[in-house]
Structure 1
């Protein structure tokens, strides 16, 4: 007798990304959802150490791993996060997986049954660190993703709009929502991370996250969250932000539906559920500051600020011990060996302390980081 797939697959998240040792951003998911990891760059440690062992996964291997999940009926995912993907062909392979899952949800009569969060990892600070052909590969996927998480440079590359002020930032978000010549259709939800623009009324040492959910006419509903910058390099902040957005976006949509159900029940009526809609796009009547995307981003940034602050505290203490040990060694090691040792310890100390700060992941203090109108 042939095995049959389960009639109601258990909801879960497909995490297609690089994955390395340490606290690991992948662990965030296990607090919120069942997870399957599809590793696109299996290495022992992240590249901040300037040395690592591992290989890039090819497009064929990504597709083969996906077929392996499907043949065992382990493809019942309602969300997917894709991060760093090595090469244009691999980007296209991950895109095909997302398209298949979206089509599967649509065929089951559940247009909101699959949500893809795409982190288009391509570069930063004006520089690409992927091949040029990766850019059009990502642009071709914009019409299939539900939420994208580019940094400022990546948003400029994908939209074709240089971001120099608030007006050009709005144009860039509008271009990503609209798609136009960039793709067959645009992306419903956009969050641009680490925006570096002057902030009137805020301290100089602060940064923005800017988000928007488009209206039915394709117009942006913009909000910003300004947060204090921490003067330190940390490893994995982009991956942490993306992973938390997956969990918090789902949570915010469920909370919006619960509130709407309660209001409708009190009036003896029924209401359409946001979680059943394609891409979880709120009605045009929902203000930018009340969007589930804004609620999710507030919680994510609150968690990140707490975790980064606590990581910095631990990092300072750890590096003080390391420097004391290196000074005691004196001539026992060469200057070059001490510099290398210090660099490696610095990289290790900068690993985000996620597992040691579970309460900040589960219940962050949100009050200080609220969304504002642009």
Structure 2
């Protein structure tokens, strides 16, 4: 196992929810980022006892003004020098705008000093899933007004539909949605984190234990905003886990930074052909590769492969632990468990197993590779 951090020294502002017990939001992001060698400033957007998957919780949401005040407090003490920003769940449209103002300010700061590559914003537009919003409807236009300023967005399929205005039902509509995000919104990098359409079923990724598959679909735009699309198919565990999107986002921060650093080491920043630049990739705004770079050689594709490798290993170990815990509970208590208690016990057993599986985060075995679409 490698003992060296995979990234150069990197400071990250992580803006997401916080829970006292369990693994979602910034509880995941801070642990993952620090474990991979990043310095993290955590700005928590909610303070809950536990995640909402338990169907009962206590706590509070922060206001837009509180988000702004916390950021102003960091600035007044010269603690606002960050290389990357990760934003996840934000409660309400006004709070989304407040977080967006932070991102825009950091972007402008990097542009003003002539170093556009010094800031990279990974935005997870948390709005809903499976056709259902779990935020106010006003949050959708708030995110639409912001994504132009982000470098990489990580919507699930439903969120990609909300942002692009395109219903994703097949390959053509999927590619159309990505093209809209690149061309009309100017988003440099897009990863749709969970694509489930019949065309994308893949027997090569399935296993006897996990026969159902899904895909991650990503794209880095060219200099004229054309998509360069790849997909990675992976097996799906037949269980519900909270926090998988948060883990994916935190790992993408690290692996994107790593992939760009590795690219610059190998190429020494030399580009050829249309859209080429002699500057290092890590010095360019949004870390956009030259147009001559093939889809499967994109840093985004390399990063996504490693992210999914870690995800699969962590979820596999979480499943093993969850099943063992539930067997032990049934052995002790038999079938005499009411429905509410059983749900709470299952939710606790399904918390992502991160702290005991650092090797899965740092040095995973890549099984599922990117394919060109």
Normalising by structure 2, we get a TM-score of 0.90
* Deviation readout 1:181-203 (Å, 9 max, x if unpaired): xxxx4200000011001226535
Quick one: distance in 2 between partners of 1:274 and 1:356? Answer: 35
* 3-state SS of 2:116 partner: coil
Q: Note if 1:45 corresponds to 2:44.
A: no
Structure 2 residue corresponding to 1:76, chosen from 81, 88, 92: 81
Query: What is the RMSD of the two structures over their aligned residues, measured on CA atoms?
Result: 1.7
* Deviation readout 1:44-63 (Å, 9 max, x if unpaired): 21111111111011000000
Structure-2 residue corresponding to 1:132: 137
Q: How do 1:3-42 residues align onto structure 2 when only pairs under 5 Å count?
A: 11-20=10-19, 21-23=21-23, 24-26=27-29, 27-31=31-35, 32-42=37-47
2:127–2:133 CA contact under 8 A, matched in 1: yes
Q: 1:271 Cα shift?
A: 4.3
Q: Note if 1:351 corresponds to 2:348.
A: no
Q: 1:292 Cα shift?
A: 0.3
* Deviation readout 1:275-298 (Å, 9 max, x if unpaired): 000000000000111000000000
Structure-2 residue corresponding to 1:6: none
* 3-state SS of 1:28 partner: helix
Bigger radius of gyration among the two: 1
Structure-1 residue corresponding to 2:339: 339
Give the length in aligned residue pairs.
347
Q: How do 1:119-158 residues align onto structure 2 when only pairs under 5 Å count?
A: 119-158=124-163
Structure-1 residue corresponding to 2:189: 189
Q: Give the 3 Å change call, closer, same or farther, for CA 262–94 of structure 1 in structure 2.
A: closer
Q: 1:75 Cα shift?
A: 0.6
Quick one: distance in 1 between partners of 2:245 and 2:163? Answer: 18
Q: 1:327 Cα shift?
A: 2.2
Structure-1 residue corresponding to 2:5: none
Q: 1:340 Cα shift?
A: 2.4
Q: Quick check: 231-240 or 255-264, which moved more?
A: 255-264
Quick one: distance in 2 between partners of 1:155 and 1:173? Answer: 8
Quick one: distance in 2 between partners of 1:194 and 1:146? Answer: 19
Quick one: distance in 1 between partners of 2:176 and 2:270? Answer: 36
Q: Quick check: 220-229 or 339-348, which moved more?
A: 339-348
Q: How do 1:1-374 residues align onto structure 2 when only pairs under 5 Å count?
A: 11-20=10-19, 21-23=21-23, 24-26=27-29, 27-31=31-35, 32-179=37-184, 185-198=185-198, 199=200, 201-202=202-203, 203=206, 205-261=212-268, 271-327=278-334, 338-366=338-366, 368-374=367-373
Q: 1:22 Cα shift?
A: 2.5
Q: Which sections of structure 2, spanning at least 5 residues, go unmatched?
A: 1-8, 272-276
Q: Which sections of structure 1, spanning at least 5 residues, go unmatched?
A: 1-9, 180-184, 265-269
1:18–1:83 CA contact under 8 A, matched in 2: yes
Quick one: distance in 2 between partners of 1:247 and 1:52? Answer: 31
Q: 1:263 Cα shift?
A: 8.0
Quick one: distance in 2 between partners of 1:235 and 1:151? Answer: 14
Structure-2 residue corresponding to 1:267: none
Q: 1:129 Cα shift?
A: 1.0
1:11–1:76 CA contact under 8 A, matched in 2: no
Quick one: distance in 2 between partners of 1:116 and 1:235? Answer: 23
Q: 1:345 Cα shift?
A: 1.2
Q: 1:343 Cα shift?
A: 1.4
* Deviation readout 1:245-276 (Å, 9 max, x if unpaired): 00110000000001112989xxxxx9420000
